Structure 1
Amino acid sequence: MLRKGMKLGKKIDEMTIGEKIQLNEKIEDKDLLLYLGLTNDNNPLYIQHDYALDTPYKKPIVPAIMLNGIITSAISKHLPGPGSHIREQNLIYLEPVYHYETIEILLEVQHIDITQNFVEIYVSAFKEKIVQVLHGVLKVVPPY
């Protein structure tokens, strides 16, 4: 049941190839702590500065799956939007993201399959506007 006043996202026949959205997301301590508490993930690489100092990263990094969650949220909220579902994903994490960094995420529709009711959305994310931190493709079922 939809919340009163909530609108479904775009249906497949309302989407176009090349359609895109860009979002900025700053990684805050509260977000990291919520994620780590929810998943019961206590990897020292994510939270312990003294441990991270002895790694090639030199400071705690953001869990890759948390970045995936930000992308999933963008699909659910914006493109195609509420009522959509990720059927398949292939993401490649190129560079670490550190606490307090802001990432710029770009989602772009690259393929529409009306007969099977899915779209392929290319995703890329950058920090500092120039360092690519991830890229990949998601197969998404838009709302019916």
Structure 2
Amino acid sequence: MLGKRRTLGRTIDKLEVGETIHLTEKMTDKDLLLYLGLTNDNNPLYIQHDLAALTPYERPIIPTIMLVGFITSAISKYVPGPGSHVIAQHLQFPNPVYHYDTIEFDLEIVEVDVEAKTIVVSIHAMNREQQTVVEGTVSVLAPPAID
């Protein structure tokens, strides 16, 4: 918003190893359609039930980049918050996420580098069947100190 100064998230000196956040996200048609429209991604595996039935997945899946979007959104909103910037990610997606799945995301700060003003956030996400759907780490540049 132009003209309105927003509060930034926590600076590097206010972040500690061991901080956690837990989020629950439901994979909705709206989210999927917004992603597909924004990216012009027309992979039939994401929307065509008849084609997906012929694959090992057996039904349409959620694009992994949508899961990354939920993670980066949590970082931008909460840990460390507004003004932070993802600079690297190392993520694996061992199991697919299907339409209408509910995913539990756990984020934990596992490293704080005060000199570089970065943190490393561990990511672990599971579906309702307690299968891991995302695991890995994200490196984040903490918000700058603005006086």
TM-score by length of 1: 0.96
Per-residue deviation at 1:5?
6.8
Q: Unaligned 5+ residue runs, structure 1? A: none
Instruction: Extract unaligned runs of 5+ from structure 2.
Output: none
Aligned pair in 2 of structure 1 residues 8, 39: CA closer, same or farther (>3 Å)?
same
Contact 1:18 1:108 in 2 (8 A): yes
Alignment partners' CA distance in 2, 1:3 and 1:95: 44
Partner deviation per Cα, 1:5-64 (whole Å, 9 max, x = no partner): 732111110011000100000010010000001000000000000000000111000001
Give the match for residue 38 of structure 1: 38
Q: Does residue 1:50 correspond to 2:64, yes or no?
A: no
1:129, distance to aligned residue in structure 2 (A): 6.0
Instruction: Give TM-score, length-normalised by structure 2.
Output: 0.94
Which amino acid is 1:120 matched to? V
* Runs of at least 4 residues off by over 3 Å: 1-6
Q: Do residues 98 (structure 1) and 95 (structure 2) align?
A: no
Contact 1:76–1:84 at 8 Å: present in 2 too? yes
Identity of aligned residues (%): 53
Separation in 1, partners of 2:9, 2:68: 20
* Separation (CA, whole Å) in 1 of partners of 2:35 and 2:108: 26
Q: Determine the structure 2 residue equivalent to 1:21.
A: 21
1:141 matched residue in structure 2: 141
What is the deviation of 1:2? 7.7
Q: Is the 8 A contact 1:24 1:103 kept in 2?
A: yes
Are the equivalent residues in 2 in contact too, given 1:104–1:129 (CA < 8 A)? no
Q: Post-superposition shift, 1:130?
A: 1.4
- Give the length in aligned residue pairs: 144
Say what the alpha-carbon RMSD is for the aligned residues. 1.4
After TM superposition, the structure 1 = structure 2 runs for residues 80-119 of structure 1, keeping only pairs within 5 Å, are 80-119=80-119
CA distance in 2, matches of 1:93, 1:140: 20
Provide the C-alpha distance between the structure 2 equivalents of 1:76 and 1:2, rounded to a whole number of angstroms.
19
Q: Aligned partners of 1:5, 1:16: CA distance in 2, in Å?
A: 26
